[in-house]
Amino acid sequence: MRCRCRQGGQLHRLFCLLDRNHPDEPALVMLDGNSKPNRTAMPESVYRRVRERRDAYHAGRSVDFS
pLDDT lower than 70: segments of the chain: 65-66
Question: Closest Cα to residue 36, out of 14, 51, 19, 53?
Answer: 14
Report the pLDDT value the prediction gives residue 66, as an integer from 0 to 100: 67
Query: Going edge to edge, which strands form the sheet with 2-7?
Result: 2-7, 10-19, 27-37
In the chain, domain spans: 2-58
Predicted model pTM = 0.78
Report the pLDDT value the prediction gives residue 2, as an integer from 0 to 100: 80
